Structure 1
Amino acid sequence: MELRCVIVDDSPRFLNAARGLLEREGISVVGVASTGAEAVDRVTELRPDVTLVDIDLGGLSGFDVVRRLYREADMGPTPVILISAHSEEDYADLIAASRAVGFLPKTTLSGQAIRDLLGAAG
């Protein structure tokens, strides 16, 4: 089964690169967003199987976006994975305290890494 994904990131360059990579690896990127409000709209409208949220959205915290998604998008059990160019150790406590199922560094983002993380969380 092909996973349907929404990516939330404020970098158009990263969004394009990630979309291309993930789609080549069998993950359908059904939408993208660059702000918290756009993220809530896309997730509410598209109901993806997984949402990737950048931790640093140009002054906006990805952790706040995750909280907002669960509060406003009525996500239920839909998993969120946090992503960042920074290392996991930089945010370990915040990641653990969030409702996200886990974290992936942008440098290791792949379809298989997403599937592995979802499998471990499921």
Structure 2
Amino acid sequence: MPAFNPERAAAILAEAVTAGDLETCRKYGISPRTLRNYRARLAHDPHLAAFFRSKRQALEGDWVTEVRRSILEGLRFLRLTTQRADPSDPRAVTAIAEALKVMFELEMTREVVTARFEGDYRLN
């Protein structure tokens, strides 16, 4: 059995927050029990906790920055398209309504992922 590597464990724990436990376990070739053991160790291993915070912040920062940028670009495009569209054209109205729906779904997804980052895995 390989020695415990806190940096690797922290990367696995951080990835599990967004990718999910089963997907992360498959990717890294570990069992769900190993993942649970890593989580249990977070509470009393300050070295692991520090690595985890660092990895989580890096993942969260990259994702949040990219999503915000994409949403802003999408909103700009939607605003221009709405201004140029013919309001009497049902296809244009439908396309704009669908785009608004997608924007709303993106925002909801962002909120869910943010809540997951801040939920069970919060370390003070």
Q: Shared topology, TM-score over 0.5?
A: no
TM-score under structure 1 length normalisation: 0.25
Which protein has the larger Cα radius of gyration, Structure 1 or Structure 2? 2
Tell me the TM-score normalised to structure 2 length: 0.24
The higher-RCO structure (CA 8 Å, 6+ apart) is: 2
Greater strand percent: which structure?
Answer: 1
Structure showing the higher helix proportion among its residues? 2
